[in-house]
Each structure stands twice: as structure tokens, then as C-alpha cells.
Amino acid sequence: MKILQDKKIVLAITGGIAAYKTPELVRRLKEQGADVRVVLTASAKAFVSSLSLQAVSGYAVADSLLDPQAELAMGHIELAKWADLILIAPATANIIAKLAHGLADDLLSTLCLATSAPIAIAPAMNQQMWHAPATQENIATLINRQIAILGPGAGEQACGDVGLGRMLDVDELVSLSTQFFTPKILTEQHWVITAGPTREAIDPVRYISNHSSGKMGYALAQAALNAGAKVSLISGPVALTAPQGAHLINVSSALEMHQQSLMLAEQADVFIACAAVADYRVAEVAKQKIKKHDDNDNMQLNLVKNPDIVADVAALTAKPFTVGFAAETQKVAQYAQEKLIRKNLDLIAANDVAQSNQGFNSDNNALQVFTRDQQFEIPLASKSKVAAQLVTIIAAQNNNKG
């Protein structure tokens, strides 16, 4: 049975350019079994039509607090009681401010005050507006009130700026919407997850790193949280917002990640090494910037091997259920299974990063998952969907082991 089957979702749309994606969002939520009713703010009508949303939802669109016909039956209260979830996407800086300050001057803001259903917002705005102190204070207020913040994502924006502020893609919003109805199978479990790249300093301004975006590790953290786990997320430098509710530990180098991992793994039920850790670091980091000279066409660096984080966790006397990742460009299954045995792992997830539509910097992924005696295939999908499936597999294998 689909997780959203017969769930009642109010999709509230505010006035941002990302509103053009919402008919597809309605359609995809309904594909997953949800019953969807739409609320439009006055400014949202400039970006998307009521008629198109009515066609895909099957309901008349609600757009006015003072609609005489609807209010004969106290329509806004009826809608507030009907909802199992209110999803605001896109959520502008304006509606975020209204929610934070408890305003009720239109249908949507009144609806949010009148409901006992969970509320989730998908922020969408210019990157400078997102980083503005007022917006960040309002977001902090909403988090304290248990309103879920879905995103924002990073990338190029309609105005030409690049940075945080994009509304999450439709697939990801649908996947994240399931968190409110996901069975809490991991209650009282502590999961430690590493994510992102590491940076190995050459001098005060240069470093060695890789192309990891951290998206897979962050998606796993969100999926584990959705299933009820306590999550510690050890993250290298990324341009992502940590999942709400995760304990975020920021690190830069492999040595820092190693130290935090071993310390937290001793308290963990599950440890997932999803980070793309640099295999080597510079033996001696220059104290000053290395200058380039006309007579110096070559530069040599003496590299030393970094500690193997996942192998060291797996070697602990009372080790957690230990999961590794294998990012390969060839012989994916063979190399992953060899790594599983060599590093004494309980499970390994392998992906082919030679494929341009999955892996590093992509929003999608596909995994081959191996234990000592089983194999699972997770087909190409959004990283949130892949993460949810992988968390389910890990939970089942961990329970079986116990």
C-alpha cells in the first residue's frame, strides 16, 4: 500500500516563480494515493491558474477567506480540520514571516492557525532573501514550533543568482511529504551518518577535495529521521541545509571526520559511511601560501594515507551495524563485495559514478546493495527515494542480525 494512500493534503501555493511546478506536484501526490485540495494566495494567481489546479486536483481551488458561499459552512475551519498535512510550496519570505508572527489576514495564514495538522513549508526565494537575518530568525521560530522546513535547494535562480533559495524538485517534495506518515520503525535507535567531501589542506588557501555534494548522505539522514531515529550527521563542507532534527557536526578534513566518527560510533546502533573521504592528505601543510614562480613549472606534494574511517569503526569491539559505500567507475559489484569482506562491513551500497545521471552532484542515484549473503537492487530514482529504500533495507538487516 502506498504511504500517502487516502491521506488528505492541502497544498498551499504562494506567489513565487516556482508555483509553475505545482500542477505537477498535485499530480504526483495523487499518484501516491493522496487526496489533494489546493489553496492559492492572491499573488500566486499571477504564476499559476486556478483552472489548471482544479483540473489536476479534482476540487475547486480555495483562494479567498471572504468567499460568501464557502463561509456558509465556515469553509476555512472545515478545510483546517480536513487536512492530514498542510504543505506550502512554494513558500515565500512573506508567508514565512506571517506564520512566524501569527498573522491571519488571508485564507492561508488563517488556515495555518486553525489547523492541528502538521505544517511543512518548501521555501523559494532569492538567495539574499533566504540569508537575510529576518528570514533566518523567522525560520528558527517556525522550527521551534515544529513546522517542517523542506529545503531550500541550491543552484541557479530565476534572477540569475546562484545559491540557496530554490524550491526543492517535485519528486523530492513528494518523497519528503511521506515523512509525516512513515512508520517509526527506528524509534530509540541512534544512527551516525557521514556525508559530503573532505578537504585536505595544501597551504592556507588551497586544498585537495572531490566532487561529492553530500546530497546522498543528507537524504539518508532525513530518511532515518523520518523513520524515528536519532541522527548524528557528520558533514564535510557542503552547500546544503541540514535536515531538521539532525545533530549536525561540521568537519573539514578526514582526520576530523575520523575523530568524530569513532567517538560517536561507540554510542550508535547504525553507522553509515556515506562521505567521500580523501584517501590521502598532504604530509606537511605549508604555513604560508605557496607562491608560483616563473621558473617553477612543476610542483610536487608528498601525500600520506588518511585513516580508513569505516574500517576503523567496523573494528571496534562493540561495533554498530556498519554500512559502507563504494563509488566505482567499473566492476561495481565485484569491487563492492571485495570491500565488504576486506573492511568487515555488515552491508555495502555501491553506485556507478561513471554514469552522468546519478551519483556525484546529481539529484538521482541507483544502488546495488550487498550483505554477506544477500543482494538488493535500488533502481534509479531521486536520492530521497533511494535513501528511504536503503534505510528500510538497513533496518531489516540490522534487526535480523540482532
Asked which of 47-56, 268-277, 326-335 is least confident by mean pLDDT, the reply is 326-335
In this predicted structure, the answer to whether residue 161 has a pLDDT above a threshold of 80 is no
Mean pLDDT of 207-227: 93
pTM for this model (two decimals): 0.78
pLDDT per position as a tens digit, 351-362: 887 776 666 667
Looking at residue 44, its pLDDT comes to: 95
CATH topology of domain 190-401: Rossmann fold (3.40.50)
In this predicted structure, the answer to whether residue 255 has a pLDDT above a threshold of 80 is yes
Q: Best-predicted range by mean pLDDT among 286-290, 308-312, 328-332?
A: 308-312
Q: Do domains 8-180 and 190-401 have the same CATH topology?
A: yes
Kindly report the average pLDDT of the chain as a whole number. 90
Q: How confident is the model at residue 295 (pLDDT cuts 50, 70, 90)?
A: confident
Share of the chain above pLDDT 90, in %: 71
pLDDT per position as a tens digit, 29-73: 999 999 999 999 999 999 999 999 999 999 999 988 766 555 544
pLDDT per position as a tens digit, 90-105: 999 999 999 999 999 8
User: Do the Cβ atoms of 321 and 347 come closer than 8 Å?
Assistant: yes
The domain made up of 8-180 is a member of CATH 3.40.50.1950: yes
Looking at residue 61, its pLDDT comes to: 92
Mean pLDDT of 217-230: 94
- Give the start-to-end residue ranges of the domains of the chain: 8-180, 190-401
Mean pLDDT of 188-212: 94
Looking at residue 66, its pLDDT comes to: 61
Looking at residue 372, its pLDDT comes to: 92
Looking at residue 72, its pLDDT comes to: 44
List the catalytic residues: 159
Mean pLDDT of 222-236: 95
Looking at residue 73, its pLDDT comes to: 46
